[in-house]
Amino acid sequence: MKMALTIAGSDPSGGAGIQQDLKVFRAFGIYGLSVISSLTAQNSKGVEDIMPVAGQFVEEQLETLLSDMRPDATKTGMILSSTNVVSVVSAVKRHSLKNVVVDPVMLSSTGRSLSRRDLPKVIREKLLPLCTVVTPNIHEASVLSGIRITTMREMEKAVLLLAELGAPNVIITGGHLDDAATDLVYDGSFHYLKGEKVPGEFHGTGCTFSAALTAELAIGSDLLNAAITAKKFMKKMFVKAFSSGKGMRYFNI
């Protein structure tokens, strides 16, 4: 059976992070492995507090797991601290992990910061050169590239800059563009995955897309087809979204 590993934060509401990744993996018929990098106190209205898992223990989780089980793909989500990035980088190198998807989570859907101040620099320098693909949203791509993104042309510039930093493939998800929800895929060429903007606020969109992409890579899909399938999966999830609390809507997986 194909396996995928998620290294991310815990969301007790079940709509993002580790919990969401594992549900998505299961929906694709993939056995999910997980390493927790942080704990959160959150609900549908937002993140109230975050507690990082010590880098040494993140490393211990990874080493114990990977000494026995080998994932066919690995994704990172909310790593939170530069210490944890170093632990992840060490594991990727030591175990020659393949199909590494970096979802550079830095901001919650409600605007709460989910990263320490030095995290973008460490991701750029240490994690991007080791990944298979990085999947930022527009805000995250702006932080990593230093380019304020409001148009497709600016997305293209940011993609090329992230590629220059070492990421062999880049996907910027465009759900926050004003006029459309077009994702930009770069694998040496530009590919535009168009979609309709869905009104409302949804929890865990970035986690869901990157987990679907990771699952497809674990199965053996090439990057572009994996991205197309993940985009189609998101369309289905928006249709099935429901309200579980007083805040954002959740995907019913």
CA distance 134 to 185: 10
How many other C-beta atoms can be found within 10 angstroms of the C-beta atom of residue 212? 25
CA distance 134 to 166: 10
The DSSP 8-state label assigned to residue 130 in this structure reads G
What separation in angstroms does the CA of 90 have from each of 60, 100, 120? 11, 13, 18
Range of the domain at 207: 3-250
How many other C-beta atoms can be found within 10 angstroms of the C-beta atom of residue 62? 22
What is the per-residue pLDDT across 189-238, written as a single tens digit (0 to 9) for each?
999 999 888 888 999 999 999 999 999 999 999 999 999 999 999 999 99
Which CATH number belongs to the domain containing residue 95 in this structure? Answer: 3.40.1190.20
Q: Which two tokens stand for residue 91?
A: 């594991």
Q: Tell me how far apart the terminal alpha carbons of the chain are, to the nearest angstrom.
A: 20
Q: Which two tokens stand for residue 63?
A: 């080493």
What is the per-residue pLDDT across 117-146, written as a single tens digit (0 to 9) for each?
788 999 999 999 999 999 999 999 999 999
Whole-model pTM: value is 0.95
Q: What pairing do the DSSP bridges indicate for beta strands 242-243 and 249-250?
A: antiparallel
What is the per-residue pLDDT across 28-82, written as a single tens digit (0 to 9) for each?
999 999 999 999 999 999 899 999 999 999 999 999 999 999 999 999 999 988 9
Would you mind telling me the total number of residues written for the chain in this entry? Answer: 253
Number of domains observed in the structure of the chain:
1
Find the DSSP H helices in the chain: 17-27, 55-66, 82-94, 119-122, 138-145, 152-164, 205-219, 223-239
Residues 73 and 99 sit within 8 Å (Cβ to Cβ): yes
